[in-house]
Chain A
Amino acid sequence: ELKVEQNPLFLSMQEGKNYTIYCNYSTTSDRLYWYRQDPGKSLESLFVLLSNGAVKQEGRLMASLDTKARLSTLHITAAVHDLSATYFCAVDNFGNEKLTFGTGTRLTIIP
């Protein structure tokens, strides 16, 4: 059974600082996704990572994928308050389209 673990579960950062969220998964996967969720809202797709060594950047967020280590990272650069949200990674299996989600990382940016 595919398992997806994120850490940390909770993260308080000061504005302007850098930090990284980690996502480990247990078996070979097709794709890895990063989503953002604001309280009471749906999921906003941030990144889709398809291959080993993939790196994508959007604004202050950068995601990378190492399929050999079964690890993805979401790096936050010079955090701002607007980035406060819960971030989820999710993985799908070869031939199995359901997404398996990590537990989420609740990020709070402190002024």
Chain B
Amino acid sequence: NAGVMQNPRHLVRRRGQEARLRCSPMKGHSHVYWYRQLPEEGLKFMVYLQKENIIDESGMPKERFSAEFPKEGPSILRIQQVVRGDSAAYFCASSATRAHEQFFGPGTRLTVL
């Protein structure tokens, strides 16, 4: 009965590199949400996806960030040309339907050198 899985748990990138963060939702869940937590702050919504569709990306920065949730495989949050300000913990959550409670994964802690 695996919960939400995220990998890697820790990721170090140099400025200008790409970061790929993966999220596998709980079994039976088809709704995925990505949140970012900057140090000493609360979580901020980034994007909400269903299989093959982006439903709400109002929290995504306009440049360098993209997300997908393909028909097969995990959801991926991609950050191109990372900068130091991208250093944060990125959490994925999943739910069975849009009305159900979200369950959070362990997070990926991104450090940009």
- Chain B residues positioned under 8 Å from A90 (CB to CB): 43
Q: Of B59, B99, B105, which contacts A98 at CB under 8 A?
A: B59
> Are B107's CB and A98's CB within 8 A?
no
State in angstroms the CA–CA spacing of A102 and B101 once bound together.
17
> Are A42's CB and B105's CB within 8 A?
yes
> Are B106's CB and A97's CB within 8 A?
no
A106 vs chain B, min Cβ distance (A): 9
> Are A103's CB and B45's CB within 8 A?
no
Q: Chain A contact residues: over half helix, strand or loop, or mixed?
A: strand
Size category, A interface: 10 to 19
State in angstroms the CA–CA spacing of A101 and B41 once bound together.
10
Render B30-58 as a binary contact track against A, CB cut-off 8 A, 1 for contact. 01010100000111110010000001101
Q: Of B35, B56, B101, B105, which contacts A96 at CB under 8 A?
A: B56
* A7 CB within 8 Å of chain B: no
State in angstroms the CA–CA spacing of A48 and B59 once bound together.
24
Which single residue of chain A is at the shortest CB-CB distance from B45?
A98
> Are B101's CB and A97's CB within 8 A?
no
Size category, B interface: 20 to 34
> Are A101's CB and B43's CB within 8 A?
yes
Render A22-46 as a binary contact track against B, CB cut-off 8 A, 1 for contact. 0000000000010100001111010
Render A43-55 as a binary contact track against B, CB cut-off 8 A, 1 for contact. 1010010000000
- Chain A residues positioned under 8 Å from B7 (CB to CB): none
- Chain A residues positioned under 8 Å from B58 (CB to CB): 98
Render A91-102 as a binary contact track against B, CB cut-off 8 A, 1 for contact. 000001111111
Q: Of A35, A41, A88, A96, which contacts B106 at CB under 8 A?
A: A41
> Are A98's CB and B48's CB within 8 A?
yes
Which single residue of chain A is at the shortest CB-CB distance from B103?
A45
State in angstroms the CA–CA spacing of A41 and B35 once bound together.
14
Q: Could you tell me which B residues sit within 8 Å of A by CB distance?
A: 31, 33, 35, 41-45, 48, 55-56, 58-59, 91, 93, 95, 98-99, 101-107, 109
